[in-house]
Amino acid sequence: MSEAVLYSFRRCPYAMRARMALRYCAVAVQVVEVSLKAKPTQMLALSPKGTVPVLSVGGQVLDESLAIMHWALAQHDPEDWLLKADPAAQELMAALITENDQAFKEHLNRYKYAERYPQQPMEHYRAEGEVFLRKLEGLLTQRDCLLADHLSLADVALAPFVRQFAHVDREWFATTPYVHLQQWLERFLASPLFVQSMAKTP
């Protein structure tokens, strides 16, 4: 198989989770950091929609982060991120990722860029996002990770978005009652997987 090439943008949460999955699965990949103001013609030729991440590997093009994560995990999943022996956890994992990528992402965008959505105050959009945070807090009262005693696809798929939500107003997030969620996020951001995936590339 020819070396994989991943077109990425360091701070994009979708690209973050794709990079982490590829690193975890030990896929040899060349990461190309994209300027969103001047997207590479090679990337646009592979995926005309022009969003990151885009993975080109072995003649395949994957331009959705979850598809990239699942492709990587099909190659190698040493710590069972897919929770293969637990159908109930797999079902909950799929539901959490769908809620994150749809409803929570919309609330996050409106909270982060509240000036673009003057119909409601910022606190309104934050409160809408907190519904999902409370759900995650409830799961984390039982264990250190969302669905198992180790990281799963759910943790890695959601953490970059929870990070973004927390960073809109770090002082506020630090005062919330989501103690288990705060600790989960802190551990995640200090993990070698996250730190190495956030290393700057040219």
For the domain made up of 87-191, the CATH class stated in words is: mainly alpha
**C-alpha separations of 149 from 49, 78, 143, 185, 194 in Å:** 38, 15, 6, 15, 18
Q: How far apart are the first and last CA of the chain?
A: 24
User: Is the separation of the CB atoms in 176 and 182 below 8 Å?
Assistant: yes
**C-alpha separations of 68 from 15, 19, 29, 50, 101 in Å:** 10, 9, 12, 16, 15
User: Is the separation of the CB atoms in 16 and 160 below 8 Å?
Assistant: yes
pLDDT of residue 2: 59
Cα gap 148→142, rounded to integer Å: 9
Each domain of the chain, given as residue ranges in start order, spans 4-78, 87-191
The segments of the chain whose pLDDT lies below 70 read 1-2
The pTM of the whole model exceeds 0.85: yes
- Candidate CATH numbers 3.40.50.300, 3.40.30.10, 3.30.1330.10, 3.10.180.10; the one for domain 4-78: 3.40.30.10
In the numeric block, which tokens belong to residue 37?
């103001």
In tens, the pLDDT along 101-141 reads 999 999 999 999 999 999 999 999 999 999 999 999 999 99
User: Is the separation of the CB atoms in 20 and 157 below 8 Å?
Assistant: no
In the numeric block, which tokens belong to residue 60?
């395949």
